[in-house]
Amino acid sequence: MRAGIFSGDGLVDGSGRRRVEQDLLDVVTASPVMSGADLAREVTVAEPYTVQPLRGPASGTEPVATVVAVDLGIKSMTPHRLAERGVRTHVVPAGTTVQEVLALAPDGVFFSNGPGDPAAAVHEVELLRGVLDRRIPFFGICYGHQLLGRALGFGTYKLTYGHRGVNQPVMDRRTNKVEITAHNHGFAVDAPTDHDAVAPYDGGRYGRVTVSHVALNDGVVEGLECLDLPAFSVQYHPEAAAGPHDADYLFDRFIELMASGRTHRPLGTDDASAPATAPRTAEESDAASN
């Protein structure tokens, strides 16, 4: 859906003539469509920067964890939420390579929210697969959630009516608790909500995946959790400021994932059973691509 809000000088053309309704509609329909738009490169940070921890053993110096956050349109509150928990966050441009990520020795990698069609984010999806191949803990929000879905081999699609604003009810299917959340997305991940599934990409390379959160208004997928890899994501905004704050716990979950060193157990469980599908190592992936 495209729309326009016109006022003041926007209501007249270059000759001073007042625009009629069809003139305004023509302006709207001439604007680019969102489907196929690769916009992260237009909004990402030009140069990397670091947000130091606000608390911890030596606040501002020794972090409880180091995170590389790929800026796809990141909100400043996201690294702030991590800093509140003692995390040092390196915010890097969308075009960063996996080698550049590894050079920062992260305990975890984060993909932010941002604009655009996830199907157009070819580089970012390949970067994320490099992270998954190396079993580096991953957390994605909004656009980052959609990119995790695509990295795992699921499709994405444009919603007829996007999710916008606050007071959006979402259920955490592990706890059956309902969260009031903030949304701003027009695309969604097409993954099964009635059963766990093997990620379709490359014959199940990334093992099993479950839909962890669903929107109660329309059943849209709002969260993914990998059962055989340390990776999860949500479609909404736990960093929302001024709120709601029901989903703050997701940052703690990310820190738990990084601190635990678990590589195949579902988060928050004591199930130490081996994965049904063993994901490839980075070396095996490199060999397979040669």
Mean pLDDT of the chain: 85
Q: What's residue 271's pLDDT?
A: 39
pLDDT higher for 148 or 16? 148
Residue 275, pLDDT > 50, answer no
Q: What pLDDT does 59 receive?
A: 61
Q: 23 versus 225: which is more confidently predicted?
A: 225
Q: For residue 115, what are its two tokens?
A: 């604009």
Give 78-104 pLDDT, tens digit per residue. 999 999 999 999 999 999 999 999 999
194, two tokens = 């009635």
The pair of structure tokens assigned to 263 is 């590589």
> Is residue 21 domain-shared with residue 125, that is, in the same domain?
no
What span, in angstroms and rounded, lies between the C-alpha atoms of 278 and 204? 9
Q: Which residues lie closer than 8 Å to 33 by C-beta, 6 or more apart?
A: 2
pLDDT at 203: 95
| Contact (Cβ atoms closer than 8 angstroms) between residue 84 and residue 65 | no
Q: Percentage of residues in the chain with pLDDT exceeding 90?
A: 57
Residues 161, 21, single domain; the answer is: no
pLDDT at 8: 87
On the 0-12 / 13-18 / 19+ scale of CB atoms within 10 A, 20 is exposed
Q: State the pLDDT confidence band at 57, using cuts at 50, 70 and 90.
A: low
- Catalytic, out of 90, 142, 183, 225: 142
pLDDT band at 254 (very low <50, low <70, confident <90, very high): very high
Peptide bond into 244 cis (omega under 30): yes
Question: Are 149 and 250 members of one domain?
Answer: yes
Whether residues 22 and 114 fall in one domain: no
> What is the pLDDT, as a whole number, of residue 60?
55
Residue 94, domain member (yes or no): yes
In this structure, are 5 and 111 located in the same domain? Answer: no
CB-CB contact of 78 with 111 (8 Å): no
Q: How confident is the model over 140-166, as a mean pLDDT?
A: 90
Residue 69: predicted pLDDT: 98
Report the distance separating Cα 253 and Cα 234, nearest Å: 12
pLDDT band of 30, cuts 50, 70, 90: confident
> To the nearest 10°, the Cα dihedral for 30, 34, 36, 41?
110
- For the residues 194-220, what does the mean pLDDT come to? 95
Domain boundaries, position 24: 1-31
Smallest Cα–Cα separation from 212: which of 260, 173, 261, 177? Answer: 173
The confidence score (pLDDT) of residue 261 equals: 65
Region 152-167 average pLDDT: 85
CATH number at residue 227: 3.40.50.880
pLDDT value at residue 241: 75
Say if residue 80 is in the same domain as residue 189: yes
Do 227 and 148 lie in one domain? The reply is yes
Asked whether residue 142 falls in the same domain as residue 44, the answer is yes
One domain, residues 15 and 132: no
Range of weakest confidence among 56-60, 142-146, 161-165, 200-204: 56-60
pLDDT digit string, tens, across residues 221-232: 999 999 999 999
Q: How far apart are CA 218 and CA 16, in angstroms?
A: 46
At residue 117 the predicted structure's pLDDT band, cuts being 50, 70 and 90, is confident
Give the integer Cα–Cα distance in Å for 108 and 140: 11
Same domain, 117 and 207: yes
Answer whether residue 92 is part of any domain.
Answer: yes
Shared-domain flag, residues 135 and 253: yes
* Angstrom distance (rounded) from CA 65 to CA 61: 11
Tell me if residue 226 is catalytic.
no
pTM for this model (two decimals): 0.81
Q: Give the number of C-alpha atoms closer than 13 A to the C-alpha of residue 153, restricted to the C-beta side.
A: 14
Q: Is residue 275 part of a domain?
A: no
Cβ contact 125:104 at 8 Å = no
| Pairwise CA distance, residues 276 & 207, whole Å | 7
Closest CA to 107 of 124, 82, 84: 82
Q: Is the pLDDT reported for residue 257 higher than 90?
A: yes
Number of domains, the chain: 2
Of 179, 225, 239, 264, which residue is the catalytic one?
A: 239
Window from 41-55, 114-128, 157-171 with minimum mean pLDDT? 157-171
Question: Among the options 145, 183, 185, 237, which is catalytic?
Answer: 237
Weakest mean pLDDT among 131-140, 156-165, 217-226: 156-165
